Amino acid sequence: MPSREDITYFGAGPALLPTDVLETAAASLLNYKDTGLGIAEHSHRSELATNIINEAKADLASYLDIPEDYEVLFMQGGGTGEFSATAYNLVGAWVERKKKAIFGDLKADEVNDPTLMQQLKTTIDKELKLDYIITGGWSQKAAAEAARLLGPEHVNVVADARQINDGKFGKIPDESTWKLSEDAAMVYYCDNETVDGVEFPAFPKCLEPKADGSGPIVVADMSSNILSRRVPVRNFSAIFFGAQKNLGSTGVTVVIIKKDLLPPKLQQPSASLMRKLALPIPPIILQYEIIAKNNSLYNTLSIFDVYVAGQVLKKLLNTYPDKAAGQEAVSAKKAQLIYGALEAHPDVYKIVPDKAVRSRMNICFRVTKGGDVDGSERAFLKESTAQGLTGLKGHRSVGGIRASSYNSIPMKGAEALAQFVEEFAKA
């Protein structure tokens, strides 16, 4: 029976957690700060819980250099929940802006003017668009959810990587080919696609804000590469990510959102107005303004999961004086080691994505040794597991091998995998 020290787990998520963080969390589950109660037993309304949330928010802001005009929300529902939440909230923000442009400063009882209401409805029918850059399975699902909620006529596919790669994911279309809407409610992209091993090498140039601060409403899913590199937060209106890759355990989802999209700067349209406009009304638990107003405590948040995330952040801050830049250098080096070993044996391994967009987090490849892909991959997985290198099986939808080199994978783990890749190729 292997011990924790005997294996390096490369699973795509839930991911490996630092052992010392787990040890601290385990002790806190029994007795947190000598209160006689475990952390999961304390009320989410307690001062203790508020302090845990505020510390985690402050540490995340420090590590990623989040500006003061952004809010951090702890939510539930994972990245999939955020596919819906971003659509709901940013469509609401778009409608509110259009309403103000058409109705001006009319009082609430004057908003029912039939001529102006028809003008607003016509504007929505003709102009409301959510833009999606599809580069893998997760962005594909995000676009599909928006189409389900709002209707496909309101979803604009800016680019679809499959159209330039024989129907498969593995590339990012050149920005010159992107077809952005003129005034999209949001432009969504997934910064790192875990299934297909595709990562944006940098923030897209065509989405950068202009000198006057104007620009598209950009939303990014960073569930699988957050905390692994520096993030130009000011380029985004919202960033969301599940905790279970680089931040903590399954059960908490984080949203970093510009305060301009929250009260008092911007109010969401009333439910009655959205019904008149035949637009969906979000569940209250997915409304960003409600979560922000209640400091993420509108309902019973898992304080234990926030605590684990907070401990991971403290460890990162203690490990890297230069914060995200320090982890970025380590992440790049680990990826270079593994990709280098694979590239050294092109007759045995085929790396799935194009070199220009290879993910540092999810290294996807096929084993083609002897021409028997299925047999070679079964042998690769069996022998790697015997050496304590586990969790390497690719996603069920695409097969192959996937090594997820999240922050918690130590350098020696990456070195061990690179060595095994070499040895298997030569055997």
By DSSP bridging, strand 349-351 and strand 362-367 are antiparallel
What DSSP character marks residue 201? S
For residue 332, give every residue at least 6 positions away whose Cβ sits within 8 Å of its Cβ, in sequence order, or none.
360
Active-site residue identified among 131, 191, 221, 305: 221
Q: What are the angstrom distances between the C-alpha of 337 and each of 114, 286, 342, 398, 423?
A: 65, 41, 9, 24, 14
For residue 246, give every residue at least 6 positions away whose Cβ sits within 8 Å of its Cβ, in sequence order, or none.
15, 224, 225, 226, 227, 228, 312, 406, 407, 408
Tokens read off for 303: 């304080």
The burial of 107, by beta-carbon neighbours within 10 Å (0-12 exposed, 13-18 middle, 19 or more buried), is given as: exposed
For residue 258, give every residue at least 6 positions away whose Cβ sits within 8 Å of its Cβ, in sequence order, or none.
69, 70, 71, 236, 237, 238
Tokens read off for 393: 């099986």
The burial of 413, by beta-carbon neighbours within 10 Å (0-12 exposed, 13-18 middle, 19 or more buried), is given as: buried
- The DSSP code sequence of 247-289 is TS-TT-EEEEEEGGGSTTT-PPPPHHHHHHTT-----GGG-HH
What is the Cβ-side half-sphere exposure of residue 228, based on CA atoms within 13 angstroms?
Answer: 29
Tokens read off for 195: 């299934």
138 catalytic per annotation: yes
Active-site residue identified among 245, 258, 334, 369: 245
Of 134, 75, 124, nearest to 282 (Cα)?
75
DSSP β-bridge partners for residue 362: 404
245 catalytic per annotation: yes
The burial of 318, by beta-carbon neighbours within 10 Å (0-12 exposed, 13-18 middle, 19 or more buried), is given as: exposed
Active-site residue identified among 57, 99, 138, 196: 138
Q: How far is CA 380 from the centre of its chain?
A: 30
For residue 176, give every residue at least 6 positions away whose Cβ sits within 8 Å of its Cβ, in sequence order, or none.
none
The whole-angstrom separation of Cα 330 and Cα 149 is 40
Catalytic residues: 138, 221, 245
